[in-house]
Amino acid sequence: SQQGEEDPQALSIQEGENATMNCSYKTSINNLQWYRQNSGRGLVHLILIRSNEREKHSGRLRVTLDTSKKSSSLLITASRAADTASYFCALLSGSRLTFGEGTQLTVNP
């Protein structure tokens, strides 16, 4: 099954700055999802973008999808300390979601 690969593995920024995380994959997809995980907690769904969509917004989140480059990016604008978490892209293959290793985002107050 295919797996998304997030980049960078870790990102540390100051509160108020923007954070960009990238996800690359290898085969065709129906959709790509982004999830967030706070330490010791379960994953929380952020955004689902379909293969025929190029960009999607939700509050301070912006997701782009470039199927020709097989990549997606998650942008968090005006970051807050509460955005500190791990962020995963997830790809659907058959009945399973496959996750990458994630990007650990630290937002310093």
For residue 85, give the amino acid letter.
A
Q: What is the rounded distance in angstroms from the CA atom of residue 35 to the CA atom of residue 58?
A: 13
User: Residue 16 CB, nearest distance to another protein (Å)?
Assistant: 28
The smaller minimum CB distance to another protein, of residues 15 and 48, is found at 48
Residues of this chain that interact with another protein (CB under 8 A) are 1, 30-31, 33, 35, 40-45, 48, 50, 88, 92, 94-102
Handedness of CA 46, 75, 14, 105 (dihedral sign): positive
The smaller minimum CB distance to another protein, of residues 2 and 15, is found at 2
In 3D space, the residue among 17, 18, 19 whose CA is nearest the CA of residue 8 turns out to be 19
User: Residue 94 CB, nearest distance to another protein (Å)?
Assistant: 7
